[in-house]
Structure formats: structure tokens, C-alpha cells
Amino acid sequence: MRTGPDPGPQNGAPLSTAPEVRTPVLDEASDALLAGRAADGDARAFAVLVRRHGGLLRGYARRVLGSAASSADDVVQEALITAWQQLPQLQDHSAVRSWLVRVTSRKAVDLLRGLKHHDDVDDVDAPAAEGAGPESMADASALAGSLHAALDALPEQQRQAWTMRELGGLSYEEVAEELGVPVSTVRGLLARARTTLMARLDDWR
């Protein structure tokens, strides 16, 4: 077998069984390869990562930001600019997705901290909108809507902790670091968030 355009005779083997050589393309490359090239300064490779994970990061940022969700695009954009600068320091290139989630988490938490200086709507345990649940919605988007509402109704830190853990895949220790609270607090926040969300998921049934 050869890589040139003319495969030529195959030592008696029928041509049809010769594997087709297909040069790998950047758009389909692994995260690890793309992160390595981006760390080397290849903007095209970074653009593929942005395209591949941007939707997830934007959805994620919206969930972390809650009522400030309109800033999600800005937060993700800022996070990606920071990520581009810091990529050469990333040790494990295959973990670039979860690393991007962490960078986005940090930017989102920074933004919320900044907002708090001006605006003290905060961690009052809002009653979880009793009776406001959807009644006769039966499709997946209704379920999503119900979860969105339930998540938005959670106290801020519970929502952030749950989003970082369950959607971002951060470890308890990483969540604690991002939120600036002890791991034991993260466990408590997650337990309360899970209990509320499980009950809400059940309401929908």
C-alpha cells in the first residue's frame, strides 16, 4: 500500500481490500492534539476547540450565572482568551475540556463577586417556588424547563456547586477552590441542591 494518488499493484492482494489512506484533518483531531498545537501558537487549532466546546461552555456559564446569565457569552469569551494565554502551562492536554470548564467557572464566579459589590441580592434561601411547577407538559423541553426553573430557584452557592460538579465535572476539591469555601461546605451545598432537584424532577412526572 502507498499513500500516493496511484495505489499501484498490491503484491497480488485485490485493490478493494487495501485500506483507504485518509489524511487526518484538524476538525476531527483529538482534543489533546488540538490543545498541543494551540499551546504552540496555532490559532486554527484553538478555533476548532472553541467551535467544539463553545456551546457547552456557554450553556454551562448560563447555569452558573443564573440571573446574570445575559453575561454568559462575555464570560465565556473572556475565559477563552485567558485559556489561549495559559494553554502552554496546561500539563495534560487531553483534559483540555474540563480545564476550559474550570477557567469558565472562575470567570463566572469573578463576575458574580463583582456584581455583589453593587447589588446585595444573595443567598437568602428562596422558597422553591411552591406550586409554580409545570402541570401538563410532557416532552423533554418541558422537563428541561422545569429543571431550569428549579435550578434558578436554588440559592446561588447551591446552584453553582451543583452546576460545577454535575455539569462541569469538577471534583469536590475543585468546586471548593472555585467557590472559596471548605470541602465540607461543598458537600452540604450539593446534598441540599440534589434533594431539591430530585424532588422537582419527580414533580414533573
Q: Does 196 bind another protein (CB under 8 A)?
A: yes
| Residue 30 contacts another protein per CB under 8 A | yes
CA distance 54 to 59: 9
Residue 4 neighbours by CB under 8 Å, 6+ apart? none
Q: Which of 18, 126, 129, 132 is in the footprint of another protein by CB under 8 A?
A: 18
The verdict on 59 binding another protein (CB under 8 A) reads yes
CA distance 50 to 64: 19
Number of Cβ within a 10 Å radius of residue 117: 7
Q: Are 177 and 186 in contact (CB under 8 A)?
A: no
Q: Which residues, numbered 76-95, are part of the site for another protein (CB under 8 A)?
A: 76-77, 80-81, 84-85, 87-88
Q: Does 126 bind another protein (CB under 8 A)?
A: no
Cα atoms in the 13 Å half-sphere on the side-chain side of 70: 1
57 binds another protein (CB under 8 A): yes
Q: Is 1 in the site for another protein (CB under 8 A)?
A: yes
From the list 113-121, 129-137, 160-168, 173-181, the region that binds another protein by CB under 8 A is: 160-168
Estimate to the nearest angstrom the gap between the alpha carbon of 83 and the chain centroid: 14
Residues 114 and 126: their CA atoms lie apart, in Å, by 22
Q: How many residues bind another protein (CB under 8 A)?
A: 69
* Angle, vertex CA 143, rays to CA 137 and CA 146, nearest 5: 95
Could you give the angle at the alpha carbon of 27 between the alpha carbons of 37 and 34, nearest 5°?
A: 20
**Site for another protein contains 111 (CB under 8 A):** no
The region of 106-114, 131-139, 174-182, 184-192 touching another protein under the rule CB under 8 A is 184-192
| Amino acid of residue 144 | A
Return residues touching another protein (CB under 8 A): 1-4, 18-26, 29-30, 32-33, 36-37, 39-43, 46-47, 50-52, 54-60, 62-63, 73, 76-77, 80-81, 84-85, 87-88, 140, 143-144, 147-148, 151, 163, 166-167, 187-188, 190-191, 194-199, 201-202, 205
